[in-house]
Amino acid sequence: MKKILALATTFSLFLVYQLNAQAKTSWPGIFAKINKEVVENSNAYASLKIASETIGHRLTGSENGKKAEQYAYDLLKSYGFTNIRFQPFEVESWSRGSLQVSIGSNNNLKNIKSVSLAHSPVAADINLEVVDMGNGVEDDYAANPEKVKGKIALVYLGILPGSKAGTPSLHRSEKTAIATKYGAKGIIVINTADNGVLLTGTASVTGKLIPIPAVCVGKEDGLALKEQIKTTPLFSHIKMTNHSGMIKARNVIATIKGSSLPNEKVVVGGHLDSWDLATGAMDNGIGSFSVLDMARTFKVLNLQPARTIDFVMFMGEEEGLLGSRAYVDAAIKDKSIDNIRYMLNYDMTNDPKGYATSAQESKTLFESIGTIAQNIDSNFKNTFSVGAGLHSDHQPFMLNGIPTGGGAGGSLPKGAGPCYHADCDIFSLVEDKGMRNTVRFNTMLLFGIADAAKIEAKHFSDEETRLFLIKNNLKEPLQIAGEWRWKD
């Protein structure tokens, strides 16, 4: 029976090689070593536990943020890396101060549980009428552009049930930008999570302070307000203070030099920073600490792919992709941007069952890598998806024509989705098995891309990048964010 299984596996791998000469005959053996090492010795879960318990949140620009940067650096050093560096950059730091929100009829305001959205003004004190603006997208304002002028917009974070087909799912920062454009003096965002969970996150498309106060309220409270406003005019008193100023943060970068194509580079990263309401275990401890363990696995096995790899812990993602922008800006400045052949991003990735990419041309390579992984563990389904989105650290790379990708097809553990950016994002949600699966299957992906004889996915020209973004319906959100650099 064992001989039959061995022959079946050999034949399966033979078919892979026939389909794709990029899949080298050495990969099954290397991937088996990766699998064994991660299953037996992964440090992803343990190191995230230590960071959560000894550091807490990892807000960029805070003392905790600095501790997290140093922790990642020291961890990489303990894994045997000598080519490690900090990449400092300046950011406009934001942290919350005081907040009081009350809502009701003009003479009967009651306090409501709320949290400030990041990059709200350093001081605000407004008492204005609240106007229901539905999903907060352009269509909600178009029928009556003056409706919200001088008032406070009440918008739903996601897409309301019964909304028109094709309603775009915009980021909270984009909805804030639209409200500001139509003259709103404040915005109240209704969270989509049940049980009164509050969400934080940036309300700025630029990473700079916004001109109006922005707050989030719980789903139940927010939907009740939507009902009240149908029959009774509502007013809100929003009083807040926040802190802002220029500070320095640091990406942490560890490099393995390529053996035969050292000038070609694959960047793999995840954002180390988090918001400050909890410890950021899901967002993005499970992603960034998995990348750290991918680096450990490469080092302990002395893996030497053809291309150079940069393992990057980005800071400032939550406040506007600041660390990844700094990395890309530096690559443009030193003219190494064209040498980056792929960027893999791990943001809340957990227990993946396949791979995703922005480049259809990578299908054969990714599925070939996945077939080997699936032969090692049939729980890996080798799914493949192609698409493109915004609002994580792959974005600055993608906007400069670089193909991006990562793990796909997984799910967050223990129903952790509602704790995204919330005060319940704590380590007890994390599962060791999910992180190990992220590490082992994506270490295989990373090695395969970095070691492939040829990467079919091309680095787009500026015009090709423009067409790619239009094809993926990203023009409108990029225009809202002021990042559409083309004239059309």
Q: Which domains does the chain have, with CATH numbers?
A: 20-83+257-457 (3.40.630.10), 95-244 (3.50.30.30)
- 139, 442 in Cβ contact below 8 A? no
State pLDDT tens for residues 357-384: 999 999 999 999 999 999 999 999 999 9
Report residue 231: phi and psi, to 5°. Answer: -120, -20
Q: Measuring CA to CA, which residue among 273, 219, 292, 331 is closest to residue 66?
A: 273
Residue where the block lists tokens 């680095």: 459
Lowest mean pLDDT among 24-38, 81-95, 446-460: 81-95
The strand pair at 214-217 and 186-190 is best described as parallel
Q: What is the pTM of this model?
A: 0.90
Q: Is 32 exposed, middle or buried (0-12, 13-18, 19+ CB in 10 A)?
A: middle
Q: Measuring CA to CA, which residue among 144, 143, 115, 109 is closest to residue 233?
A: 109
pLDDT, position 8: 45
User: Could you give the angle at the alpha carbon of 292 between the alpha carbons of 289 and 298, nearest 5°?
Assistant: 145
| Pairwise CA distance, residues 426 & 441, whole Å | 25
Lowest mean pLDDT among 11-15, 85-89, 408-412, 426-430: 11-15
Instruction: Please give the DSSP secondary-structure letter assigned to residue 276.
Output: S
State pLDDT tens for residues 244-301: 998 889 999 999 999 999 999 999 999 999 999 999 999 999 999 999 999 999 999 9
Which value, to the nearest 10 degrees, does the dihedral of the CA atoms of residues 482, 483, 486, 488 take?
Answer: -50
Residue 17 pLDDT exceeds 50: no
pLDDT, position 106: 76
Residue 9 pLDDT exceeds 60: no
Once rounded to an integer, what is the mean pLDDT over residues 421-440? 97
State pLDDT tens for residues 139-198: 999 999 999 999 999 999 999 999 999 999 999 999 999 999 999 999 999 999 999 999
| Pairwise CA distance, residues 179 & 135, whole Å | 11
Cis bond leading into 284, ω under 30°?
A: yes
State pLDDT tens for residues 209-254: 999 999 999 999 999 999 999 999 999 999 999 999 988 899 999 9
Give, in order, the Cα–Cα distances in Å from 390 to each of 174, 345, 399, 411.
Answer: 12, 12, 10, 19
Residue 19 pLDDT exceeds 50: no
Which two three-digit tokens encode residue 52? 């959560």
> How much is the mean pLDDT over the chain?
94
Q: Is 236 exposed, middle or buried (0-12, 13-18, 19+ CB in 10 A)?
A: buried
DSSP, collapsed to helix, strand or coil, labels residue 190 as strand
DSSP, collapsed to helix, strand or coil, labels residue 135 as coil
Q: What does the chain come to in residues?
A: 488
